[in-house]
């Protein structure tokens, strides 16, 4: 599931045959030139998410961040995103908005949020909402072995609490991925295409060992930033379009028309 950060990126993802679209708060924040997801905020996230849902026919998973608060705020967040038409939502245990090293909230606090989210989804009319329970326990750990164990323990607790998927971030090696597949008692999601694992794992390899959902949380936005930068730098430096023509880097109008027209 690649990262959508606006309606057009979502439509591209759909047009290439991906069966679902995930919204990326990180990518949305970058696209809005905001330093972090916290600076983007829930209201702006919802505006982009609604546009994404309206642009595609495949299921959309929202990025609910940390629920934008405690259990009460989580209930409101779930209601808003269900009303926006999403099929699923990501909820994480990372403490957002902090200066300095990353931290995660206590396990019991995240469990409380997930229980609240599941109840709120039913009350909002979508009891089948897919909840992706994300843990950053490995990302914040000083010791990788201890962090991996904590990620497993949290993942299993989140699945019991009502999450449909367990999402572990900062998985850097295939061996870590194998441990998670073996020890997590339910569907597992892992993020790839990140600087820390770009060269150590592939989508194909993760699917082969049984990872249920392979997340690409930043690939699309990074590709856009690089492509726009390289294209405009070429025009600035050469004052012509030779490099663009040679590499066929600009879309043809018929390609754009096909993208804008629903299949």
Strands (E), 186-245: 188-191, 213-215
Q: What share of the chain is helix, strand, coil (3-state, %, to 5)?
A: 55, 15, 35
As for how many domains the chain has, the answer is 1
- Residue-wise pLDDT tens digits, 4-25: 999 999 999 999 999 999 999 9
**124: containing domain:** 64-217
Residue 230 lies in a domain: no
Q: How far apart are CA 158 and CA 164, in angstroms?
A: 9
- Residue-wise pLDDT tens digits, 196-216: 999 999 999 999 999 999 999
pLDDT at position 78:
98
Q: What mean pLDDT do residues 70-76 have?
A: 96
Residue 14 lies in a domain: no
DSSP state letters, 31-70: HTT-SSHHHHHHHHHHHHHHHHHHH-SS-EEEE-TT-SSS
Q: What's 112's domain CATH number?
A: 3.20.20.60
Residue 203 lies in a domain: yes
Q: How far apart are CA 167 and CA 215, in angstroms?
A: 9
pLDDT at position 245:
79
Which of 181, 215, 210 is CA-nearest to residue 197?
215
Sign of CA dihedral 244, 245, 251, 257: positive
- Residue-wise pLDDT tens digits, 88-123: 999 999 998 777 788 999 999 999 999 999 999 999
Distances 112 to 99, 108, 256 between C-alpha atoms, Å: 25, 6, 46
Q: How far apart are CA 211 and CA 178, in angstroms?
A: 9
- Which ranges of 129-195 would DSSP assign to H, the alpha helix? 137-140, 144-161, 174-183
Residue 244 lies in a domain: no
Angle at 67 between CA 65 and CA 68, to 5 degrees: 90
Residue 262 lies in a domain: no
Rg (CA), the chain: 19
Residue 107 lies in a domain: yes
Residue 175 lies in a domain: yes
Residue 177 lies in a domain: yes
- Residue-wise pLDDT tens digits, 229-253: 988 999 999 999 887 777 666 667 7
């Amino acid at each position: 599931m690649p990262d959508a950060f606006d309606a057009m990126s979502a439509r591209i993802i759909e047009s290439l045959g991906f069966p679902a679209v995930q919204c990326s708060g990180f990518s949305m924040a970058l696209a809005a030139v905001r330093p972090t997801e916290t600076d983007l905020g829930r209201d702006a996230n919802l505006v982009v998410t609604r546009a994404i849902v309206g642009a595609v026919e495949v299921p959309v998973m929202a990025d609910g961040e940390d629920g934008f608060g405690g259990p009460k705020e989580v209930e409101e967040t779930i209601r808003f995103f269900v009303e926006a038409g999403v099929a699923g939502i990501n909820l994480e245990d990372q403490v957002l908005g902090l200066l300095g090293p990353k931290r995660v909230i206590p396990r019991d606090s995240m469990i409380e949020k997930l229980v609240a989210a599941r109840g709120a989804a039913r009350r909002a009319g979508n009891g089948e909402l897919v909840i992706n329970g994300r843990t950053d326990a490995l990302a914040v750990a000083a010791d990788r072995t201890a962090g991996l164990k904590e990620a497993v323990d949290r993942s299993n607790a989140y699945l019991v609490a009502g999450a449909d998927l367990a999402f572990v971030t900062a998985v850097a090696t295939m061996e870590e991925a194998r441990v998670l597949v073996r020890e997590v008692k339910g569907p597992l999601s892992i993020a790839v295409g990140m600087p820390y694992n770009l060269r150590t794992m592939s989508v194909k390899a993760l699917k082969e060992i049984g990872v249920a959902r392979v997340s690409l949380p930043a690939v699309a936005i990074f590709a856009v930033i690089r492509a726009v930068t390289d294209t405009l730098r070429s025009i600035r430096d050469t004052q012509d379009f030779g490099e663009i023509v040679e590499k066929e880097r600009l879309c043809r109008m018929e390609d754009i028309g096909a993208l804008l027209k629903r299949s």
